[in-house]
Amino acid sequence: MARAIHRFKYEDHPELAAPLARLLAEEAGHFVAQAPTHVVALPLHTRRYHARRYDQAQLLASALARHLGRRAPVGWLTRTRETRRQVGLNEAERADNVAGAFTARPEVAGAGLLLVDDVFTTGATARAAVAALLDAGATRVEVLTLARAFTHA
């Protein structure tokens, strides 16, 4: 899984979105069945998007929504401030790095949302995104990722 995510995210393989979304839907079937119907990606900043040429989380969210027969509205959550890559940062540094980095559109008001990303490490990025969605009036936000990163001590 780690190799597939790395290829998808960093090695220009956007075509992996559909098979990864199918795998995610199968492995998290019970969770997804009870999750909100609007699927929202945890977005890249515009500059990183242009460098990579695609947003892997948006591709994953869209593919997952298609697989589940749900909606994946684009633009409901945006990264309004460029942040450093989180790799190599400790939990406090990660939280500081992404604090206030997201803005949600008014369309999220009253909606339950399934926030999708590729990897969950400390949860700092997801917490910052969830805060923006709730501040904009989302009623419920659940988070689903392909993988959970951790380090053996």
The Cα–Cα gap between 105 and 62 comes to 18
Q: Residue 23's domain is classified under what CATH number? A: 3.40.50
Q: pLDDT tens digits for the chain (153 residues)?
A: 999 999 998 899 999 999 999 999 999 999 999 999 899 999 988 787 777 788 999 999 999 999 999 999 999 999 988 776 777 777 888 888 888 889 999 999 999 999 999 999 888 899 999 999 999 999 999 999 999 987 665
> Domain range holding 72?
2-148
Residue 151 is predicted with a pLDDT of: 66
The Cα–Cα gap between 24 and 60 comes to 9
Cα pseudo-dihedral 17, 20, 25, 27, rounded to 10: -170
Q: Is residue 143 part of a domain?
A: yes
Q: Is residue 153 part of a domain?
A: no
Beta carbons of 119 and 59 less than 8 angstroms apart: no
pTM here is 0.90
Q: Is residue 58 part of a domain?
A: yes
The number of domains in the chain is 1
The structure tokens listed for 75 are: 């633009």
Going by C-alpha positions, the residue among 115, 133, 130, 125 that lies closest to residue 149 is 125
